[in-house]
Structure 1
Amino acid sequence: MPDFLKPVDGFRVTFGGMFSPTITEQYPEEKRPTAPRYHGRHQLNRHPDGLEKCIGCELCAWACPADAIYVEGADNTPEERYSPGERYGCVYQINYLRCIGCGLCIEACPTRALTMTNDYELADDNRADLIYEKDRLLAPLPPGAEAPPHDMAPGSTEENYYRGEITAEGRLVPRTGSPGAPPSATTGDDVRPDDARGSRA
């Protein structure tokens, strides 16, 4: 090819792109769904009766490689109870200017209090609003639940809450085979694979 035609040949890609079909997405009018396990905005979860799952252990803050999480735990009292057990997360902050969405905080949480939603629209016009406080991180109250502070379900312990044996109305409903279940709830037919495997020895 002659040298004077080389610049014209360079425009071949440009002209080819001008007449090819467009793939422009009409965001934000049309939003494509995210993947089911997309790491978006965090959420502090609740038990069915409204008590918070966060126990203020700060393991999420220790696990965060970007130092984006700040937690202060406090003791529950008979007058003010926000979570089952002894402590709750009094102060909870996530700095989305630092968060890298790695999910290590989720893996560190021992009570499944912290999860990540599919909400990815976190842009704002000032830095202060990108530090999310507890009021913006808490999950909404389940239907029929009472907002804390309030007492634990009558006759329940922390273990009942972590097993999912508390209803939205604040009643204890032990699962079949759990230590708190009535004797009639279990039968001799309930043999787990581990038990069967151990009987061969």
Structure 2
Amino acid sequence: MAITVPRPNLNWRERMFLPAIAAGLLITLKHFKNMIFRRTKVTMEYPEEKWDSNLPEHYRGAPALVRDTDGRVRCVACQLCEFICPPRAIKIIPGEISKNDRFAKVEKYPEEFDIDMVRCIFCGMCEEVCPEQAIYLRKDYAMTGFTREDMMHHKDKLLEIGGVMHGVVLKWNEKK
């Protein structure tokens, strides 16, 4: 059974759409005038100007793995980041540490740790859920690659990007 929706009765001014067009043009002219006379900068000339000094405090960039001061990978392969990742961009294959290893106090380590940067949405949930503070989002914004395989960051590349982290990583702003 179809429902008939009555059309509103428009007068001749409303049927011409002139008031709506005039209002849109007025807004456009106002923005144009502000841009010309106030000389506000709208765009950034990328190769010459960069965001490095102007990044927001809580900017979320590329995820990276870190080592502690002893050279051990902080990740203990608990797979919490893999389970919480909304687009399923993280893949971890855990491996067991042998009893003779100097880092034998933890039972697992990531044998493989892959992040698909094409799928990653930089939400930061992996950073928040990590109990060892092994993964965190850096301030990188220029991540490029020619193929999809270039955007697949493996464990070695993630550790190279992350480097060594001394002490505890301060994830949140304590000023709140």
The question of a shared fold, defined as TM-score above 0.5 by the shorter chain, is answered with yes
CA shift in 2, pair 1:18/1:56, >3 Å: closer
Kept in 1, the 8 Å contact 2:66–2:165? The answer is: no
Q: Which residue number corresponds to residue 135 of structure 1?
A: 156
Matched residues, percent identical?
Answer: 33
- 1:60-75, aligned counterparts within 5 Å? 60-75=81-96
Shift of residue 142 of structure 1? 6.9
**In 1, Cα distance between equivalents of 2:104 and 2:71:** 9
2:163 partner amino acid: P
* Residues 17, 70 of structure 1: alpha-carbon distance in 2 compared, 3 angstrom cutoff: same
Instruction: Give the match for residue 31 of structure 1.
Output: 50
State the Cα deviation string for residues 83-123 of structure 1 (Å, max 9, x = none). 75111011001111111111111122111111111111113
Q: Is the 8 A contact 1:43 1:137 kept in 2?
A: yes
Match of 1:47 in 2: 68
Query: In the comparison of the two structures, how many residue pairs are matched?
Result: 139
Q: Is the 8 A contact 1:45 1:52 kept in 2?
A: yes
Moved over 3 A (4+): 14-20, 78-84
Deviates more, 1:58-67 or 1:106-115: 106-115
Question: TM-score, normalized by length of structure 1?
Answer: 0.59
Q: Which amino acid aligns with 1:26?
A: E
* Deviations 1:24-67 (CA, angstroms, capped at 9, x unpaired): 31212211231222110111111111111101111100000111
Rounded to whole Å, the distance in 2 between the matches of 1:31 and 1:53 is 31
Partners of 2:83 and 2:164 lie apart in 1 by 28
State the distance in 1 between where 2:115 and 2:61 align. Answer: 12
Structure 1's unaligned 5+ residue stretches are 144-163, 165-201
Q: Is the 8 A contact 2:93 2:110 kept in 1?
A: yes
Query: Separation in 2 of the partners of 1:83 and 1:98?
Result: 34
Structure 1 residues 126 and 43: alpha-carbon distance in aligned structure 2, compared to 1, 3 A threshold:
same
Report the 3-state secondary structure (helix = DSSP H, G, I; strand = E; otherwise coil) of the residue aligned with 2:71.
coil
How many angstroms apart in 2 are the aligned matches of 1:105 and 1:61? Answer: 8
Contact kept? 1:55, 1:83, Cα under 8 Å? no
Amino acid aligned to 1:140: G
Calculate the aligned-residue CA RMSD, in Å. 3.0
Counterpart-to-counterpart distance in 2, 1:83 and 1:28: 47
Q: Note closer, same or farther for the CA distance 1:82–1:40 as it changes in structure 2 (3 Å cut).
A: farther
Indicate the SS of the match to 1:91. Answer: strand
SS at match of 1:71: strand
CA contact (8 A) 1:52 1:83 kept: no
How high is the TM-score relative to the length of structure 2? 0.67
